[in-house]
C-alpha cells in the first residue's frame, strides 16, 4: 500500500505548503492520514520513545528504524518521510541507510550534519561534523538512491554551534549538490526564519516543535515566508502522554475510567473503523463470492 516517492515529488512541485505531522506509531499515522494530511513524518524522537522508551540521543539502530519505516509505509497510502539521522556511520553506512529506507517504502529521508552519537535538534550539547564531511554524506545518499524521485532532505544543526549565517552557508552548499529540500534546524527567532527563507533558494522544511527553540508559526505564515514543508514533529507523542497521564490519574482515584474527567476517548466502534476491521472481516465473503 505504500506511497511511491513520485507522490512526494509531485507534492513538492505543486503550489502551496505541505503540512506534515510526526507519528510515533502506525496507529497515529493512520489518524494523520484519515485527517487528510498529505504526508507523515517518522522521526527518531518519536520512534525512540515509542519503541525503546528512551530519549532521542542516538540509541535507535538502523534496523529498528527501517523496520519502523516498513511497518508504517506498508499501512499507508500517503508518503512517509523518515529520519535518517547521521546515516548511522560513515558514507558506506549512509548508503546502506538510504537503500534500507527506500526498500522499506519511505518516500524521502533526512540526513543531518551532527556528529555521532547524535541528539535531538532542540537538545543542548550537540556537536556537528565539518561541512565537507556532511556534504560527503549527502553525496553518498544521492548516489545510493535507486529511484531518482526518492527525496533527500539535507538537515543542518549548525545554527546552535556556529550561528545562523554559517547554517545558511551550509544549506546553500547542500543545495549545490542537488538535494531536494533543505532543513535548517532550530532557528531562534522569526527574523532567523525569514533570513533562511530569503537566502536559501531551495524548498525548505520548517520544524515547529512546541516548546523548542524556534518560534511557532502557522502553516500559512510559513508559506507566506517561503517555506514548502511544515512539520509538527512530536506533538502526537505529547498529546498521547498528557491524555494517558489524565486517564491513569482518574483510574487510580476512582478505579474506573468511564468518566468525563478521564478525558476524550474514541469509542470502541471508532477504534474498529480506524483500524479497518470491516475490510478485514469482509475478506471471507469476498473470496467466497469468487468461488
Please spell the DSSP secondary structure of 52-82, one letter per residue: IS--SSS---HHHHHHHHHHHHHH-SS-EEE
CB-hemisphere CA count at 13 Å for 204?
Answer: 26
> What pLDDT is recorded for position 3?
79
Buried b (16+ CB within 10 A) or exposed e, 166-184: ebbbbbebbbeeebbbbbb
Residue 43 near residue 234, CB atoms below 8 Å: yes
| N- to C-terminal Cα separation, the chain | 26
The rounded mean pLDDT for the chain is: 94
Buried b (16+ CB within 10 A) or exposed e, 213-233: bbeebebebbbebbbbbbbbb
CB-hemisphere CA count at 13 Å for 232?
Answer: 16
Residue 250 near residue 262, CB atoms below 8 Å: yes
Class of domain 5-235: alpha beta
Residue 113 near residue 158, CB atoms below 8 Å: yes
Question: 3-class SS at 111?
Answer: strand
CA torsion angle 142 91 183 14 (round to 10): 20
Please spell the DSSP secondary structure of 128-157, one letter per residue: B--HHHHHHHHHHHHHH-SSTTSEEEEEE-
Those residues of the chain that have pLDDT short of 50 are none
In the chain, where are the structural domains located?
A: 5-235, 241-289
Q: Tell me the pTM.
A: 0.93
pLDDT, tens digit, 9 for 90 and up, residues 42-99: 999 999 999 999 998 889 999 999 999 999 999 999 999 999 999 999 999 999 999 9
**Helix 131-144 vs helix 164-177: crossing angle, to nearest 10:** 30
Q: CA 102, CA 4: separation in Å to the nearest integer?
A: 10
Nearest to 28 by CA among 246, 152, 20: 20
pLDDT, tens digit, 9 for 90 and up, residues 218-232: 999 999 999 999 999
Amino acid at each position: 500500500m505504500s506511497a511511491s516517492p513520485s507522490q512526494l515529488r509531485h507534492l513538492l512541485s505543486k503550489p502551496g505548503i505541505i503540512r506534515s505531522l510526526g507519528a510515533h506509531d502506525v496507529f497515529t499515522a493512520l489518524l494523520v492520514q484519515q485527517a487528510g494530511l498529505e504526508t507523515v513524518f517518522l522521526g527518531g524522537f518519536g520512534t525512540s520513545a515509542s519503541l525503546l522508551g528512551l530519549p532521542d540521543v542516538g540509541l535507535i539502530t538502523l534496523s529498528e528504524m527501517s523496520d519502523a519505516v516498513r511497518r508504517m509505509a506498508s499501512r499507508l497510502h500517503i508518503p512517509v518521510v523518515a529520519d535518517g539521522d547521521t546515516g548511522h556511520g560513515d558514507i558506506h553506512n549512509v548508503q546502506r541507510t538510504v537503500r534500507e529506507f527506500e526498500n522499506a517504502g519511505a518516500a524521502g529521508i533526512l540526513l543531518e550534519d551532527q556528529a555521532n552519537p547524535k541528539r535531538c535538534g532542540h537538545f543542548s550539547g550537540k556537536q556537528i561534523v565539518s561541512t565537507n564531511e556532511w556534504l560527503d554524506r549527502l553525496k553518498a545518499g544521492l548516489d545510493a538512491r535507486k529511484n531518482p524521485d526518492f527525496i533527500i532532505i539535507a538537515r543542518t544543526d549548525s545554527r546552535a554551534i556556529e550561528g545562523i549565517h554559517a547554517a545558511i552557508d551550509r544549506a546553500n552548499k547542500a543545495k549545490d549538490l542537488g538535494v531536494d529540500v533543505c532543513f535548517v534546524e532550530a532557528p531562534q527567532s522569526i527574523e532567523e526564519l525569514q533570513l533562511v527563507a530569503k537566502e536559501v533558494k531551495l524548498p525548505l522544511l520548517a520544524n515547529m516543535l512546541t516548546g523548542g527553540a524556534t518560534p511557532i508559526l502557522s502553516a500559512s505564515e510559513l508559506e507566506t515566508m517561503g517555506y514548502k514543508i511544515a512539520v509538527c514533529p512530536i506533538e502526537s507523542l505529547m498529546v498521547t502522554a498528557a491524555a494517558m497521564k489524565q486517564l491513569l490519574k482518574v483510574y487510580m482515584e476512582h478505579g474506573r475510567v468511564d468518566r468525563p474527567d478521564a478525558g476524550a476517548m474514541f469509542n470502541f466502534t471508532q477504534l474498529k473503523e480506524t483500524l479497518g476491521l470491516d475490510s478485514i472481516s469482509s475478506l471471507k465473503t469476498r473470496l467466497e463470492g469468487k468461488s
